[in-house]
Amino acid sequence: MILSALLTSVGINVALCFLFLILYTILRNRPSNAELYVPRLVAEGKLQEDDESGVGRFFSSLKWVKRAWQPTEDELLEHSGLDAVVFMRIFTFGLKVFRFAAIIGLCILLPFNYMGNQLNIDFTDLPNKSLETFSISNVDDGSNRLWIHFTAVYIFTAVVCYLLYFEYDYIASKRISCFYSSKPRPNQFTVLVRSIPVTAGRSFSESVESFFSEYYPSTYLSHSVVQRTGKLKELINNADKVYKRLVHLKSKNDTQQSSKRGCCLGIFGRKAELVDDYEKKLEDMEGNMRTERSSVAGKEVPAAFVSFKSRLSAAVVAHLQQGVKPTDWLTEPAPDPQDVYWPFFSASFLKRWICNVAVIFACVFITFLFLVPVLLAQGLTNLDQLETWLPFLSGILRLKIVSQVVTGYLPSLILEMFLSLVPPVMIVLSSIQGYIALSQIEKSACIKMLWFTVWNIFFANVLSGSALYRANVFLEPKRIPEVLAVAVPGQASFFIAYVVTSGWTKTFSSELFRLKRLIWSTLKGSLCCDSDDELEVPSNPYHKEIPRILFFSLLGITYFFLAPLILPFVLIYYCIGYIIYRNQLLNVYAPKFETGGKFWPVVHDATIVFLILMHVIAIGIFGLKKVPLASSLTIPLPILTLLFNSYCRRRFLPSFKGFPAECLINKDRLDHSDPTISSFYEKLATAYQDPTMEPLVYSEASESSTTPLLRGRS
């Protein structure tokens, strides 16, 4: 890609960013858009109307930036939890890393790259020159200037490792601090017991009661056996849908009694007849639900939530083998009641094993399938290749503005469009693997999405963009540094455009402006009648956002010494993301679960891998540039980085797997002086009841004696 094409891409994306920012600023304070742009404030009753109008209202709307910037980390912690704090620490970590990298890269490395003579730069026609003239590729082979790059790699690695250690230590201590300040929670006193052995003449509930009463007589408190409620849940969901339609029809009848046609262009017939039909359906569904609920008691699953009187007892049970047979009485820490993924419990061990195997094959299949849009995107970056494929477009492609848009903007846009389809698929695949908590599903999907992105967006683009795209390369480990050293620098311009398109523009359009949600709500309001659905406050999609943020970290780290021109674009992305995501966490997203910062080890490990990848590329680059001594002296760097990672894992990772006995005992001692602990124990007995087993309540909106019964909502 030439410099003018990159500038065209940057110009288009900057214009789109300003457009979305202006539209968001205008639409945000409209009362009709409150549920779209500040749903959390609406749900919490904290929405404040702005009395200003006209131009004053417009400039007043810009205060959202200040309001997003002002809250301290402690206020964010209180408002959104530790996971939100850790999420924002990813941005602050990136800002620290790439601020330092930009200073070194732009002030030192870039000028030396630019002054090289390897590519024979014509300074009179710079806009039409390849961006490789700003990369290490332009430094002369064997030049002593390469030792500056060598030194920069060592210094940069040391700085990143120091910052990683500081962040790991800070978040680990924050996790302990949050535990001490927290109120008693059900998951702190509860373990999940699976593979309960079958005993003749006893139910699973009786077996659990007998086992834990015998071996933990002084600390055992209560238990709740899991039941098969899949069919009952389906019945309740169907009843909820019918009930919402009935309420909607009744509200329309009250306001439009003279109307003879229903909503949505009248395709549902007369409203009065529909009301009778829906009421009859709900009567039948109510009977079916009662019948199914009465039969659920005998459909127990060999799994139970067992609660204890102290956190220490629960921790001991969770980490000790309970039975003589290691496959019986399997225990693990229980998730929070709101975090439990109930469908998992209905799956047998064999089914879970088959699903895990199927998920592996599905991930491999999706990975190879995604190579199609990758090859398409790479084809657009090469006009000669594109003209060979589509000769009838050769005339249009020769137009300067068209060629700049096609090569500079379209490839990254197409790739991002296809990539947006992957996160929901990863959530589905993770949900059938047997995880017991929504947070575990999201963390698993996050890891899948991260490595999918690294492979399909980075490696596939790097290798498909070179003549070295051959599978046998990976069968020759000695050649990997050489292959990467040749292929990676050549894709710098593509990834700069990708940062601008996927980072800048998508953050403004998808996150801040919420373009998809806006389009959907507009279409829904235009084609159908007003909806009476309850307001749903979304949660932060960590499985989608964390991999995307880390991918830009990968680009910044690997191209730090190869093509420093990418660094300001990455740094600007982290600045934009910091403000926008703080705004979203405060006004849009509500926490669906709390892991206590368990996403940070994923961030740490990924950053270590990115550093090692940079080292491998450096070894290859210095070898190709005929500085073998520098190449040899770089070899210890990945080894030292792995040793540092090993130390961090031993030092901090145990704190993320569970809390130490010292903390548990101290917290248990504080409970002795807590007057509310007895009432907490009483609530603990029913904390892990399946939501589908909650009692039904009558709707107050209906005047009929046949009012449908609905599940109570918290």
Average pLDDT of each block of 10 consecutive residues along the chain (714 residues)? 72 88 85 86 77 51 84 92 95 96 93 77 53 81 91 96 96 94 92 87 89 93 84 76 73 52 47 70 76 69 91 93 87 91 70 85 88 72 56 57 60 77 91 88 94 88 59 61 80 85 86 85 65 74 94 95 93 94 93 92 96 94 91 95 96 92 93 87 88 58 40 40
CA within 13 Å, CB half, 683:
10
Task: Give the pLDDT confidence score for residue 700 in this predicted structure.
Answer: 41
Laid out side by side, the sheet with 220-227 consists of: 220-227, 300-308, 190-194, 330-333
Q: 3-class SS at 269?
A: coil
Q: Say what the pLDDT of residue 468 is.
A: 42
What is the reported pLDDT for 420? 83
- pLDDT value, residue 660: 92
Element spanning 223, H or E:
strand 220-227
The predicted structure's pLDDT at residue 101: 96
Cα(614)–Cα(61) distance, integer angstroms: 43
Residue 114 token pair: 């630019």
Average pLDDT score over the chain: 81
**Checking DSSP bridges between strand 220-227 and strand 190-194, what pairing results, if any?**
unpaired
Q: What angle, 0 to 180 degrees and rounded to 10, lies between the N-to-C axes of helices 146-181 and 636-657? A: 10
Identify the pLDDT of residue 90: 96
What is the Cα–Cα distance from 660 to 151, expressed in whole angstroms?
41
* Residue 93 β-bridge partners: none
Q: What is the pLDDT of residues 478-490, one digit of tens each?
A: 777 877 887 888 7
Sign of CA dihedral 537, 538, 540, 542: positive
Largest CA distance in the chain: 91
pLDDT at 693: 72
CA dist., res. 257 & res. 268, Å (int): 16
Contact by Cβ (8 Å): 505, 572: no
Q: Assign 688 to helix, strand or coil.
A: coil
pLDDT of residue 392: 53
* In the block, residue with structure tokens 């960013």: 17
Would you tell me how many other CB atoms lie within 10 Å of the CB of residue 575?
15
In 3D space, the residue among 708, 3, 4, 8 whose CA is nearest the CA of residue 410 turns out to be 8
Find the length of the chain.
714
